[in-house]
Amino acid sequence: MENKTKILIILDGSEENERSIEFILKSNFFSFDEISLFFILNPVNPVNQIREKQLLYHDFVHDHGRKLANMYVDKIEDLILSKMADVKISRSIVNSKTNIIERVSLQDISFSLLSCSKQNKLNYLFASKNFNYFLRNIRPIIFIPENYNFDDKLNNNLVSKYSNKLFTSKLINSFINDENNLLNFNKLTFLFSKENEKVEIEKFTDKIPNNKYDIELIKTNEKTSEALEKIKNNENLIFNYAPKIKSYFWNNFSRNSNFSLMNSKLPIIFNND
């Protein structure tokens, strides 16, 4: 099959991360040929090999944990194949979240998925180090919120807020390509606040093949999460975000911070910079 697409799902054995599996089985935002299951097994009692600066694991507890991880991934594979018999599944069981950078550097992954529970700001900033690590190091990555409900009777709408990075992202540009095999949306909605932003959006949408998608442009000066709240009643929404990376303060405390967007209770694509 041409134009094969592969997605990566981050797991650690927790129910929290497992929600990505439920999302991909129930929703139909994306079409793909292969799922790569990336299980992160936190190491126990690592033994350092000083010369090569690597970690060795001659440890019964760790070895037992790896066996349990393989059993867990076996069950996840069986669950996926019971719903998607034709999809190919690969797996990686690693000792650290840092291994994911090497994995995505192979450039065969279309996007990665990570589910996360709703958190207050203190927990988000200080306790959720894994989520912030992935957000900084992997793009595009899709955040899956807790208890997201997909309705297959409704149309799928990708909502994007204007930014100077939006139209350089591979994902948003794929809507121009008639042979796209990854994205499954009926409608594209663009949020903007200034007339020059509207002009740039219209230049982009003019390149999209006629009648392929419904196109909607919405002018708003509201906080993004508040604007999303008003338009999410009768469609399956996913929010596409291609921000300009600013300071730590801006990314975490501004009115349109990552934390604020996550509280919109929608799947969010944190797109390529």
Per-residue pLDDT tens, the chain, 273 aa: give them. 445 789 999 998 888 899 999 999 999 999 899 999 999 987 654 444 444 555 555 554 556 678 888 999 999 999 999 999 999 999 999 988 899 999 999 989 999 999 977 666 666 666 556 777 888 888 899 999 888 889 999 999 999 999 888 888 888 888 887 565 688 999 999 999 999 999 999 999 999 988 789 999 999 999 888 888 888 778 999 999 876 655 555 566 666 677 677 777 899 998 865
Radius of gyration of the chain (CA): 20
Taking CA atoms, 71 is separated from 14, 61, 74, 80, in Å, by: 14, 15, 5, 15
Give me 123's structure tokens: 């927990």
Q: Do domains 6-144 and 156-270 have the same CATH topology?
A: yes
- Give the CATH H-level superfamily of domain 6-144: HUPs (3.40.50.620)
CATH dotted code for 156-270: 3.40.50
- Per-domain boundaries in the chain: 6-144, 156-270
Do residues 99 and 12 touch, judged by C-beta distance below 8 A? Answer: no
CA dist., res. 120 & res. 273, Å (int): 26
Q: What is the model's pTM? A: 0.84
Do residues 185 and 213 touch, judged by C-beta distance below 8 A? Answer: yes
Which candidate, 222, 156, 170, places its Cα nearest to that of 191?
A: 222
Specify the pLDDT at position 34: 95
CA dist., res. 241 & res. 249, Å (int): 18
Do residues 164 and 125 touch, judged by C-beta distance below 8 A? Answer: no
Exposure letters 29-46 (e unless 16+ CB within 10 A, then b): bbebbbbbbbbbbebeee
